[in-house]
Amino acid sequence: MRAVELTLGPVLFNWAPETWRDFYFRIADEAPVGTVYLGEVICSKRAPLFEPHLEPVAERLAAAGKTVVFSSLAEVMLKLDRKLIESACATDGLVEANDASALRALRGRPHHVGPFMNVYNEETVRFLVERGARNICLPPEMPASAIGALSTAAAELDVSLEVQVFGRLPLALSARCYHARAHGRTKDSCLFICEEDPDGMELRTLDGRAFLAINGVQTLSYDYLNLIQALPELSAMGVARFRLSPHTCDMVEVAKIFCDALAGTSSAGEAASRLDAIPLPAPFSDGFYRGQPGYTWSGQSVQ
């Protein structure tokens, strides 16, 4: 059985470049995570904003003993998008493919497959492994039964599986930017309005109930996934990596809580209570994992 590892996914939101840099510097110095994913995943227009800080951040993380993986864009619509993926795949380091367009450049080369790829069955796992995949982060809507089945296949193929255990759930990508449209702008003249919502823009139903979050062209859950009490079950299945998705809350503390739970130095109940104490703008959920509507929560709400 593979040793378990806590990982930190790429920042999905449009943070100020200096905030983005300082966030990863603190992760390098203080967070007990083994692998950190870097790169613009949602909108290619944002990538130049962070480019000056990418190399210093990667070097700081590597110096702290973290494994750095460069994440590719998750949706390709423009020539700029293709160039961004080509640039990510040209790096000498590990790359995470979040769109099938990256697979050609990475074929035969050890790489990761991200949660934006549709890996739902054993044959897909086999197909990807034969082309060089060494780690696969499953889509976040997978129920426990499906994760268990793919874990068996992954063990036979000697590839590690990764599962998101904290953070808003990525649900969909669109060709249009709803964030810009909501402010009376077009995608081409958005003026980076998404920077005003560093954890996503809350979307409500006609009767005023919050149920989704918007991040540029991306739709996410309103709620925050929390699988801390499922860690023992996931570990028993053979899941090796547990991904935290970054938000503006204290991610170092979140990482410490999950690390203690994985190490057994904190019970599931104690870890859950510590996580409850972290201020978040939305409730927790674990419905997809339990085979229920994704927004539902089997534990006590944070609100």
Listed by start position, the domains of the chain span: 5-169+224-269
User: What is the arithmetic mean of pLDDT over 26-30?
Assistant: 98
pLDDT value for 301:
38
Rounded Cα distance between 170 and 220, Å, is 5
Rounded Cα distance between 138 and 150, Å, is 9
Rounded to two decimals, what is the model's pTM? 0.95
pLDDT in tens, 195-207: 999 999 999 999 9
pLDDT value for 16:
96
Residue 162 has pLDDT above 60, yes or no: yes
**CA atoms within a 13 Å half-sphere pointing along the CA-CB vector of 58:** 18
Residue 303 has pLDDT above 70, yes or no: no
pLDDT value for 64:
98
Residues with Cβ within 8 Å of 137's Cβ and at least 6 positions away in sequence, in order, are 9, 96, 112, 113, 114, 115, 161, 162, 163, 164, 241, 243
pLDDT value for 83:
87
Rounded Cα distance between 227 and 126, Å, is 27
Smallest CA-to-CA distance from 55 within 29, 6, 89, 93 is with: 93
Percentage of residues in the chain with pLDDT exceeding 90? 85
Q: What string of DSSP letters covers 287-299?
A: TTTTTS-TT--SS
Rounded Cα distance between 30 and 41, Å, is 24
User: What is the arithmetic mean of pLDDT over 37-55?
Assistant: 93
pLDDT value for 1:
62
- pLDDT-derived band at 251 (thresholds 50, 70, 90) equals very high
104-134: burial string, b at 16+ Cβ within 10 Å, e else: ebbeeeebbbbbbbebeeeebbbebbebbbe
How many residues are given for the chain?
A: 303
Assigned token pair, 247 = 């938000």
Q: Is 109 helix (H, G, I), strand (E, B) or coil?
A: coil
Query: How is domain 5-169+224-269 classified at the CATH fold level?
Result: TIM Barrel (3.20.20)
- pLDDT-derived band at 259 (thresholds 50, 70, 90) equals very high
Rounded Cα distance between 20 and 165, Å, is 22
